[in-house]
Structure 1
């Protein structure tokens, strides 16, 4: 009887600690995705002192510090956070993998660290380094999957890497296959969908990635709106979730819904860290240019795109590419094909991973009127 009572006490204590840990982690993650970085880092630092062997916390700490520096001080300084984080955290994860070889969380978050390095390579268009970093991450994440195939958090990074690979050149795909990576777009999306609906932590990022894929590549705007709305509504402080949702509304020509949401979009470029304001303003101008273009207001869309192009400072260049693409089409419809071709060439430069790349190449060769008439 005394043994049974002791067992119940220990079980209750363990459940209480686990519940508190889960609650504290969820609060830190909520702060992270609502861009409350100081609060998030404070919570994670407290958690790390009490959970020294935890797999998730070091990864979240690096992510929060990186995002904080990125938005306040710029992308170059933010890269150092990731480089330093990898140097400091990799030995810890390798030790934990040796100590707990049956725990999939350590190889998952070690692999995810290399995924952050891949992001830097992507921003700098270092395609070979991207595949190498991605392959290192893929190796560890796949190890986690081999340990526990029902550990659904692994499907987000695997699906993301495989989708990027399926959209890459044949030479990049070949290198990826040498490292054991698949390049099937449909299967990659299925993995992301699995993580989106069944994972403990990566459902947020899975829906973010899927929103981006459906919006910009697969052109399934209804799915993009559904997924982006689920995360934008859950994390109203996250500006980029809001802008994904807003663009899905525009692409579906739900202009009244966009107008109701416009004050939230404006808030993000009027308030917050410097680099957030810069990026959100460019995205806001892009959405207004897209609305103007979709409503045949070509002079207005040209002016808005020119405003983006002339002052562009954002790390990733895809909005710049779309601005050139829309401006080129606007200018050509207004009658100046020679100027439009220059924009199409810039669109080709910046949109290599997007369907508009092929359309821009076609527009360089043939007038827009001929393309429209032949479809």
Structure 2
């Protein structure tokens, strides 16, 4: 279950409700990196760090932008090294800023966010204990900032996600989180994330992404997933991942014509991706094409595309891979290949990532998939 810490949106805690000198320029940098204009983003943010060194968010956003660019161009290990180096540079800065501006809870929010972002490296390496302790250390500072300023809407995002996560995990975490005044609740967690998505200044970006993820791949509510992912695509049309989220929502909502237009557009957009992005996102797109083909009962085509997705999968996290195995198992069940189907379901279960695919695969081990 710790793998769900991948969702902890420390990247999304970008601005508080208070207006700081330099906000407009930093906003420009944020929008640039969400639209994959990484060089423009870093040029803006590098300059902003010099001009507005006391801005509560600029150093954290700069580190996130450097990491995001590295993920788009470099192997995973290199991206991790870039992140760790950037965080090593900014964490001492935030330690000083929180002392200098001790009455401003926003500095604690960003300090906690930076600590929490450091959990991203052990997460990818499946070092669960280290992931938990780094995330929890960051959470404590974020929770303190929220206590100091209960109206801080951007803090709703990480707090809500922790509540959602802990509700579904072991009793030790539930006990620990209660010490900080939070009662683990799936409903309350979702409510907090939804507040951030609907009302926060900047956390809405990652909050919408998190809710799209949850409603597509954990809680299975594609109508809500479509609402949040469409908002993202409308604001960041060049973001391939956001488009993938909306594409899957459209497929699951039987909006096949819109999905086909999206697939055509995404195939064209892929030309402009970096080689690393192509290797990451091409299997995602192949899976979506397979899912659409399956919905249209084009089972041979669906099997072809889902095999491509599985064979070439190189995403850092394996949630989509689990759904690839689940879909392939369903296809093989329909073709009466029960042994092959169960092999796929077991491959899905072995990922142990607690996505919705896992529970469904467990059900199909005992009872084959069929169309009523």
Counterparts in 2 of 1:59-138, with a 5 A limit?
59-138=60-139
Moved more, 138-147 or 82-91: 82-91
Tell me, yes or no, if the aligned pair for 1:34 and 1:238 is still in contact at 8 Å: yes
Structure number, greater radius of gyration: 1
Tell me how far apart the structure 2 counterparts of residues 209 and 317 of structure 1 sit (CA, whole Å).
16
Tell me, yes or no, if the aligned pair for 1:65 and 1:81 is still in contact at 8 Å: yes
Aligned-pair CA distance for 1:78: 1.0
Aligned-pair CA distance for 1:220: 1.6
Tell me how far apart the structure 1 counterparts of residues 39 and 269 of structure 2 sit (CA, whole Å).
18
Q: CA, structure 1 residues 22+347, in 2 after alignment: closer, same or farther (shift >3 Å)?
A: same
- TM-score, normalised on structure 1? 0.88
Could you tell me which runs of 5 or more consecutive residues in structure 2 were left unpaired when the two chains were aligned. Answer: 1-18
Give the match for residue 260 of structure 2. Answer: 259
Q: CA, structure 1 residues 58+21, in 2 after alignment: closer, same or farther (shift >3 Å)?
A: same
Moved more, 218-227 or 262-271: 262-271
Tell me how far apart the structure 1 counterparts of residues 300 and 172 of structure 2 sit (CA, whole Å).
41
Q: Which runs of 4+ in 1 moved over 4 A?
A: 169-182
Tell me how far apart the structure 1 counterparts of residues 148 and 178 of structure 2 sit (CA, whole Å).
22
Q: CA, structure 1 residues 172+337, in 2 after alignment: closer, same or farther (shift >3 Å)?
A: farther
Tell me how far apart the structure 2 counterparts of residues 152 and 224 of structure 1 sit (CA, whole Å).
21
Tell me, yes or no, if the aligned pair for 2:112 and 2:138 is still in contact at 8 Å: yes
Could you tell me which runs of 5 or more consecutive residues in structure 1 were left unpaired when the two chains were aligned. Answer: 1-17
1:98-139, Cα deviation, whole Å (9 max, x unpaired): 121111111111111122223333333333222212211111
Tell me how far apart the structure 2 counterparts of residues 20 and 64 of structure 1 sit (CA, whole Å).
20
1:321-357, Cα deviation, whole Å (9 max, x unpaired): 1111100111111011111111101111225322221
1:23 and 2:30 are equivalent in the alignment: no
Give the match for residue 347 of structure 2. Answer: 346
1:3-62, Cα deviation, whole Å (9 max, x unpaired): xxxxxxxxxxxxxxx787232122111102111111000001111111111110101110
Counterparts in 2 of 1:184-223, with a 5 A limit?
184-223=185-224
Q: CA, structure 1 residues 75+183, in 2 after alignment: closer, same or farther (shift >3 Å)?
A: farther
Q: CA, structure 1 residues 171+127, in 2 after alignment: closer, same or farther (shift >3 Å)?
A: farther
Give the match for residue 231 of structure 2. Answer: 230
Tell me how far apart the structure 2 counterparts of residues 76 and 167 of structure 1 sit (CA, whole Å).
30
Tell me, yes or no, if the aligned pair for 1:138 and 1:181 is still in contact at 8 Å: no
1:189-242, Cα deviation, whole Å (9 max, x unpaired): 111111112212211111111111122222221111111111111111211111
Moved more, 224-233 or 214-223: 214-223
Q: CA, structure 1 residues 171+147, in 2 after alignment: closer, same or farther (shift >3 Å)?
A: closer
Moved more, 180-189 or 234-243: 180-189
Tell me how far apart the structure 2 counterparts of residues 169 and 352 of structure 1 sit (CA, whole Å).
15
Aligned-pair CA distance for 1:165: 2.6
SS state of the match for residue 368, structure 1?
Answer: coil
Give the match for residue 166 of structure 1. Answer: 167
Counterparts in 2 of 1:326-365, with a 5 A limit?
326-350=327-351, 352-365=353-366
Aligned-pair CA distance for 1:175: 5.6
Tell me how far apart the structure 2 counterparts of residues 328 and 351 of structure 1 sit (CA, whole Å).
17
Q: CA, structure 1 residues 134+30, in 2 after alignment: closer, same or farther (shift >3 Å)?
A: same
Aligned-pair CA distance for 1:180: 6.4
How many residues matched? 354
- TM-score, normalised on structure 2? 0.89
SS state of the match for residue 119, structure 2?
Answer: helix
Tell me, yes or no, if the aligned pair for 1:121 and 1:129 is still in contact at 8 Å: yes
Tell me, yes or no, if the aligned pair for 2:217 and 2:357 is still in contact at 8 Å: no
Higher helix proportion: 1
Moved more, 360-369 or 289-298: 360-369
Tell me, yes or no, if the aligned pair for 1:278 and 1:313 is still in contact at 8 Å: yes
Give the match for residue 10 of structure 2. Answer: none
Tell me how far apart the structure 1 counterparts of residues 168 and 299 of structure 2 sit (CA, whole Å).
31
